[in-house]
Amino acid sequence: MKIDSTMTAVVTGGCSGLGHATAVRLRESGFNVAIFDMNAEVGAQRVSELGEESTLFCQVDVRDAQAVEAAFAQVEERFGNLRVCVNCAGIAPAKRVLSREGDPMPLDSFSSVIDINLVGTFNVARVAASYMAKHPTLGEAQERGLIVNTASVAGYEGQIGQAAYAASKGGIIALSLPLARDLAKVGVRVNAIAPGIMGTPMLLAMPDNVQDALKANVPFPDRLGLPSEFASLVVHMIENAYLNGETIRLDGALRMPSK
């Protein structure tokens, strides 16, 4: 798609980390941006930073079907012309299947990660696609929109303590192709990005020795990934109409060890 200033993008988890970097880059590219997030206080701050005229915040739990549908209706009423949806909302708790005492992981601990990361991603994607499908086609490719989901290298090489997280991200990887095939008839593309170790605020708050240990496994460049690099890949996916049904690793050739 050729980006123009009439287009709207939704970014889940857009108050921080990869989502925030993506929201900033999309605004800079000319999009109206709607941020779906749970943090209303930070959401108001992001709207102020990005411009009230072209930015909307919706407090949304991505697991809640009615809340997601209501938020998209608000986006449609405010901006219309939804063309891009980037799913960055997610959690990454670490918990082993058996504790040191041999007790099994509480099932709720597993289910909540799957619900937020995987079910939440699908919940948002299905509603986004329904709005995109109503818009006129664009360009030579006759496309109507793009959905970008956030996977992880853990979806390929989950580490110790990442059973729930790896399962959720592996599910997002597996989701990309069938979603792309389902939506091909309406001209909506679907891709995923599988980041490696990214320099998000949460990770940068860790002690230097922890950061050094994490990036020691990255072949090149031997550093943490930048949220802005994730955002740049999103923009490339928007502009490259032949990129569809694909998960792209963004990891500096990292292959995660077991721990």
The pair phi, psi for residue 113, each rounded to 5°, is -65, -45
Of the candidates 174, 170, 121, the residue with the CA atom closest to the CA atom of residue 11: 121
pLDDT, residue 213, reads 80
Q: What is the DSSP string of 167-226?
A: HHHHHHHHHHHHHHHHHGGGTEEEEEEEE-SB--HHHHTS-HHHHHHHHTT--SS-SPBP
- How many other CB atoms are there within 10 angstroms of residue 248's CB atom? 17
pLDDT, residue 201, reads 78
Beta bridge partners of 89: none
Of the candidates 30, 39, 23, the residue with the CA atom closest to the CA atom of residue 86: 23
pLDDT, residue 216, reads 87
pLDDT, residue 258, reads 85
The pTM of the full predicted model, rounded to 2 decimals, is 0.95
pLDDT, residue 109, reads 96
Of the candidates 12, 74, 54, 16, the residue with the CA atom closest to the CA atom of residue 37: 12
Q: Please, what is the Cα angle at 249 between 242 and 231, to 5 degrees?
A: 75
pLDDT, residue 119, reads 98
Take residue 158 and report the two structure tokens written for it: 């989950």
Residues marked as catalytic: 165
Whether omega before 221 lies within 30 degrees of 0, making that bond cis, reads yes
Domains in the chain and their CATH numbers?
8-250 (3.40.50.720)
- Amino acid (one-letter) located at 255: R
pLDDT, residue 209, reads 79
Separation of alpha carbons 122 and 38, rounded Å: 18
Alpha helices in 58-200 (DSSP H): 65-78, 107-113, 120-132, 163-183
pLDDT, residue 140, reads 93
Per-residue confidence in pLDDT tens, the chain, 259 aa:
999 999 999 999 999 999 999 999 999 999 999 999 999 999 999 999 999 999 999 999 999 999 999 999 999 999 999 999 999 999 988 899 999 999 999 999 999 999 999 999 999 999 999 999 999 999 999 999 999 999 999 999 998 999 999 999 999 999 999 999 999 999 999 999 999 999 987 777 767 877 788 788 999 998 999 999 999 999 999 999 999 999 999 999 999 888 8
